[in-house]
Structures are given as structure tokens and as C-alpha cells.
Amino acid sequence: MTRITIKDVAREAKVSVGSVSKVLNGLPVSVRLKQKVDAAIGQLGYEPNRLAQSMRRRSTGAIGCLVPDISNPLYWAVVKKVDDRLQRDGYMLLLASSSDNGRTEVDIVAEFKRRRVDGLIIAPGRETDAHLIKSLEQFGAPTVILGRSLSKTFSSVHVDYRSGVEVATKYLLDLGHRRIALLAPLAGPGHARVEGFRAAYAQAGLDPPEDLVPPRTMSLDAEHDVRRLLDSADAPTALIVLGTRILAGALKTMRDRNLDTPRDLSIISIGDPEWAAVHNPPITTLRWDVEEVARLVAELFLSQLKKKSKHEPQQVFVSTDLVLRGSCATPVRRAEK
């Protein structure tokens, strides 16, 4: 551990600590002074202590980043991108995940505060959390919320599931499907997806199959849910599934049952795992640009960081694309099977 301080440098260069500090911070000094100080720094291998700097400057150059327990590739893609972007500006990420360690999001935000982070990037686990909102608001640092509508007082970036699912549902409806099941957890922004689902039915002048929409089902065991669904008397002819796990569960179940996609069941995946295009048949997917989400988070964040005046919070939505591949077809009536 380096024990060399600015004092040592000052002594070595035979100047005052104040002068060394000036050189360090690029303030105007004489050429001679700068030379002496630089020489001493090189000589001693001095590295400034960021703790001490942070203390005086009242800024740590650290950003608190909180992601939930869900093992969602989206979060990591965003973390990576944000990290890349912020490192460029000299910031570092203090990362914490809110799972499996018995600490709540509020606890972690409190810890971020104690560590005097310069800002916060938060992907909350739940849609609304008064305690968390209050905690964030009274902190008052630049904050971006990812994926939830916590409160309009913060900037946030969302995927526009509502219209995405609407498009996907309409596509299936147009193909002739009527009994479409939406398999997504109720929690979180699930309601947006359900809204899109209902909207598509409404627009087609149809009633959505209430028994196939959450919150009907969805335990943690996706495979089990899918199995029950497919085995029921009035089984759906198409599935819209959220996320890798449920998709995998559905696909596995179908293989076990020797059901064919898309002949026996059409499938649309919400989210585009790498392998959706590899699978046989390739899975039709509602995808969005992870890179763009990440870019927006980083931009929104940096813009707040740079304005001195409170910037107006913005809610940004990232649109989705329905990527047509081979997992959807006109439904075959059960009797014909």
C-alpha cells in the first residue's frame, strides 16, 4: 500500500503542498514549479489518495448502481454499457444486487448515501415503493430509474411493452388465433403487457380469454405452469412468453409432449435471447435494442450530472420490434390434430 503522500512530494520537490496540489489539479503554475513537482511525483511513484480528495471536493466520482435479484441479461448489458460510458468520464460503479443477502433496496441506497456516491442508477424490483422513493428523493443526487415507473420525479428508461405486446397479440389474432395465453409474472411492469394484450383484443372487437391472462397463473415453476396450461381441456393455440426461463420451460414441455412448433402451438417470446434465432424452428420474438436502453440510461444520467440546475425528469420509452421467425402459424383446430 502506497504510503507516499502529497507532503512527501512537496518535501522532495522542495515546494509547498499547496503548490503540489495545484500541479495535480492543473491550476496555473510556473513551468519550473511544474517540472520540479512532476519529477518528484515520478521519483516517488506518488498516487493521490482519492479518499482525501473526495472528502475535500465533496464528490467521489462513484456511482451507485443497484440491480435486482432477477437474473436478467438486460440488467447486465446495461451495467456494462453504463460502466463503459461512465469510466470514460472518470467515474466508477459501486455495484450492489438486492438479492440473497437479506438487504433491502432501501438499505443499499442508504449505504450508497453513506459512501457519498455522486449519483444513482436503480433498477427497482417492484413498481412502487414509497419508502424507496422517499429515500431517493431526499438524497437529491442525479438518479435514473431503469424499467419501472417508480415516480415521475425521476428520469427513467423503459421498454414499451404495452404497444409491443399489442402488436404481438394482433399478429397472432390476425393469424386466426383466439385462445392466446400471456405468460408473464404479475409483478413489476406486467400490467403494461396485459394492457397491450387486452388492447389488441379490444381493437379486434373480441373479448380476451380471461382465464389465460395473468394474474391467473404464474408460479415460479414455469414448466409446471406451461404443462398445466397445455394439458387443460381448452388449451391455448398460442403462447406469448416473457423471458428466457418461461420460454425454455415451454419449449421443453413441448418436446416432452412431442408437440410441434408452430403446428401445434405458436410461440412468441418477449425478449430475444441469443438462441431464439438458433432454435429449431427459430422463435418469433418481440425484441428491443438493449444497447439503446443502456445508451439512454447513460446519457440521461450524464446529462443530469453535468447540469448544475435540477434537470426536468424525463420518461423515455424504447420501442420494440416484432421479429418474425418460424414459430408462429395459423392455428390448427384441435379435432384435426
- Does residue 26 belong to the site contacting its own copies (CB under 8 A)? no
Do 105 and 132 form a contact (C-beta atoms < 8 A)? yes
CA nearest 282: which of 241, 244, 320, 323? 323
- Does residue 220 belong to the site contacting its own copies (CB under 8 A)? no
Question: Please, which residue, 167 or 329, has the CB nearer to its own copies?
Answer: 329
- Does residue 28 belong to the site contacting DNA (CB under 7 A)? yes
Q: What does the per-residue mask of binding to its own copies show for 281-300, with x meaning CB under 8 A? A: --------------------
Distances in Å between the alpha carbon of 295 and those of 119, 289, 303?
17, 10, 12
Q: Which of DNA, its own copies, none does 333 bind, CB closer than 5 to 8 A by kind?
A: none
Q: How far, in Å, CA of 246 to CA of 267, rounded? A: 11
- Does residue 179 belong to the site contacting its own copies (CB under 8 A)? no
Min dist. Cβ of residue 52 to DNA (A): 3
Between residue 45 and residue 84, which ones bind its own copies under the rule CB under 8 A?
47-52, 54-55, 60, 62, 65, 69-71, 73, 76-77, 79-80, 83-84
Q: How far, in Å, CA of 158 to CA of 315, rounded? A: 8
Min dist. Cβ of residue 161 to its own copies (A): 22
H or E element, residue 333: none
* Peptide bond between residue 313 and the one before it cis (omega within 30 degrees of 0): no
Q: From the list 11, 53, 173, 316, which residue makes contact with DNA (rule: CB under 7 A)?
A: 53
Phi (first) and psi of residue 179, to 5 degrees: -95, 90
Q: What is the DSSP letter of 205?
A: T
Do 116 and 60 form a contact (C-beta atoms < 8 A)? yes
From 42-50, 198-206, 212-220, 266-274, span contacting DNA (CB under 7 A): 42-50
Between residue 92 and residue 111, which ones bind its own copies under the rule CB under 8 A?
92-97, 99-103, 110-111
Going by their DSSP bridges, the two strands 119-122 and 180-183 should be labelled as unpaired
DSSP conformation letters of 156-203:
EEEE-HHHHHHHHHHHHHHHT---EEEE--SSTTHHHHHHHHHHHHHH
Q: Which of its own copies, DNA, none does 32 bind, CB closer than 5 to 8 A by kind?
A: DNA
Q: From the list 11, 33, 282, 326, which residue makes contact with DNA (rule: CB under 7 A)?
A: 33
Question: Please, which residue, 137 or 211, has the CB nearer to its own copies?
Answer: 137
Q: List CB contacts of 87: < 8 A, sequence separation 6 or more.
A: none
Q: Which of its own copies, DNA, none does 111 bind, CB closer than 5 to 8 A by kind?
A: its own copies
Q: Which residues pair with 182 in a beta bridge?
A: 240
Q: Which of DNA, its own copies, none does 71 bind, CB closer than 5 to 8 A by kind?
A: its own copies
C-alpha angle 313-318-323 in degrees, rounded to nearest 5: 175
CA dihedral 35, 40, 42, 44 (to 10 degrees): 180
Min dist. Cβ of residue 51 to DNA (A): 7
Q: How far, in Å, CA of 22 to CA of 252, rounded? A: 65
Q: From the list 178, 228, 252, 311, which residue makes contact with its own copies (rule: CB under 8 A)?
A: 252
Q: How far, in Å, CA of 54 to CA of 112, rounded? A: 14
- Does residue 111 belong to the site contacting DNA (CB under 7 A)? no
- Total residues interacting with DNA, rule: CB under 7 A: 28
Q: Which of DNA, its own copies, none does 253 bind, CB closer than 5 to 8 A by kind?
A: none
| Residues at the interface with its own copies (CB under 8 A) | 1-2, 47-52, 54-55, 60, 62, 65, 69-71, 73, 76-77, 79-80, 83-85, 87-88, 92-97, 99-103, 110-111, 113-116, 139-141, 244-245, 248, 251-252, 255, 273-275, 277-280
| Residues at the interface with DNA (CB under 7 A) | 3, 5-7, 14-22, 24-25, 28-30, 32-33, 46, 48-49, 52-53, 55-57
